[in-house]
Amino acid sequence: MYTRREIVRLAAGASAMMLPLRGGARAQSDVYPSRYITSICMFAPGSGADIFVRFYARKLQELAGQTVVVENKAGMAGNIATEYVARSKPDGYTIFIAPASSILVAGPFLYKKLNYDPIKDFTSVTTLAKLPFVLVVAPDTVSSVPELVARLKQRPDNGFYGAGSTVGLIASELFKASFGLKTTEVKYKVGLDALNDLISHQLDFVFIDPVSIKEMVASGRLKALALTSEQPIAALPGLPGAAQVGIKNMNLISWWSVHVPAKTPRPIVDKLTVWFNQIAASDDAKKFLSNLGADPLIGSAELVDQMIAKETEEWIEYVKIARIEPQ
């Protein structure tokens, strides 16, 4: 027989043994990260997205004290990478630095079937930056949007445009709708391939992120005509906003955020939020973004979810205006 004191002592010991199980998520976060982290990039090496992801991966590595490996999974306008993250283990070791505005928001409107749920399969971490896309042409063709429209109307079937992302696609279709054009889309897995075809006059125009074309515009290989934001922005001086050149109903601003697979432990998500907000607020990030034509966007998981909800409503209208049918 046990005495009352012995029973109390044994019960206390049993309770102590149970504590690690109850606090498993907390214990896991206390040692996180204990090995390398993989950051998935939805576009190819050398693309604007790749440059962007590698900067933040390098900065995260400095704060987390572990190697952060960038893995490129290009294809299907980002859907291959997105599905991969959705199916990854929710342990904080697979992260997704991506333009959520063009993949998690736009995806359901552009594709009849997605192999992931853009809401249920992900946990938001925080926002990072925002930037408009840029309308570019070959420099020896036209020098303004009115000239481009006139040139397209003279082309059989109004010529061709290239698109390697959802923002590039919707911007092109809104542009067409504004001026009554029938220009044909040419799909690209890699946006840089579209730029090569633009320079060689196989395409008439491309809407693309400023990161990918910054040096090509500076060297004179491409001509930038306008932004997809309604008004001009300080980071890209000299370029008119969409409204100023007659493009109606366009205010497309691509914003980047961080996501992890759904059910990732909250303490790990909180750690990542703190680290990425530190990076976004740093002078290095501000300088990096300014050079690329972007602005920092310091936020939270709640802000990401609010922006997804708000822009989902806007995309309903974009799809109607551009008369886009899901593929």
Closest listed residue to residue 271, CA positions, set 28, 23, 19: 28
- Other Cβ atoms less than 10 A from the Cβ of 155: the count is 13
Give the pLDDT of residue 27: 53
Between 179 and 238, whose confidence is greater? 179
Distance of CA 279 to the CA centre of its chain: 17
Asked whether the predicted pLDDT for residue 93 surpasses 50, the reply is: yes
- Domain count across the chain: 2
Q: What is the mean pLDDT of the chain?
A: 88
Q: Are residues 116 and 139 in the same domain?
A: no
Give the pLDDT of residue 298: 92
For residue range 256-315, what is the model confidence (pLDDT) as tens digits?
999 999 999 999 999 999 999 999 999 999 999 988 888 889 999 999 999 999 988 888
Q: Are residues 44 and 103 in the same domain?
A: yes
Q: What is the CATH number of the domain that holds 110?
A: 3.40.190.150
The SS3 assignment for 252 reads coil
- Greatest mean pLDDT among 19-28, 170-179, 209-218 lies in 170-179
DSSP for 99-161, written as a single string: -HHHHTTTHHHH-S--SS-TTTTEEEEEEEEEEE-EEEE-TTT-SSHHHHHHHHHHSGGG-EE
pLDDT-derived band at 17 (thresholds 50, 70, 90) equals very low
What's the whole-number mean pLDDT along residues 92-113? 90
Asked whether the predicted pLDDT for residue 195 surpasses 50, the reply is: yes
pLDDT-derived band at 318 (thresholds 50, 70, 90) equals confident
Of the residues 245, 264, 291, the one at which a domain ends = 245
- The verdict on residue 319 lying in a domain is no
For residue range 234-252, what is the model confidence (pLDDT) as tens digits?
778 889 999 999 998 898 8
The SS3 assignment for 168 reads helix
pTM of the model: 0.75
Q: What is the CATH number of the domain that holds 161?
A: 3.40.190.10
- The verdict on residue 321 lying in a domain is no
Q: Are residues 236 and 144 in the same domain?
A: yes
What's the whole-number mean pLDDT along residues 40-65? 94
- The verdict on residue 269 lying in a domain is yes
Q: Are residues 149 and 113 in the same domain?
A: no
Q: Are residues 55 and 77 in the same domain?
A: yes
- What is the bridge-based pairing of β-strands 134-137 and 205-208? antiparallel
- The verdict on residue 326 lying in a domain is no
Q: Are residues 199 and 232 in the same domain?
A: yes
What's the whole-number mean pLDDT along residues 100-126? 90
Residue 30's region, left for phi above 0, alpha for psi from -120 to 50, else beta, is alpha
Q: Give the structural domain span for 231.
A: 134-245
Q: Are residues 65 and 142 in the same domain?
A: no
- Other Cβ atoms less than 10 A from the Cβ of 302: the count is 10
pLDDT-derived band at 26 (thresholds 50, 70, 90) equals low
**Cβ atoms of residues 202 and 191 within 8 Å:** no
pLDDT-derived band at 29 (thresholds 50, 70, 90) equals low
Q: Kindly state the DSSP code that residue 77 receives in the 8-state scheme.
A: G
Q: Are residues 49 and 121 in the same domain?
A: yes
- The verdict on residue 298 lying in a domain is yes
- 189 Cβ contact list (under 8 Å, min separation 6): 44, 74, 75, 164
- The verdict on residue 7 lying in a domain is no
- The verdict on residue 183 lying in a domain is yes
Give the pLDDT of residue 18: 38
Closest listed residue to residue 200, CA positions, set 226, 221, 229: 221
- The verdict on residue 198 lying in a domain is yes
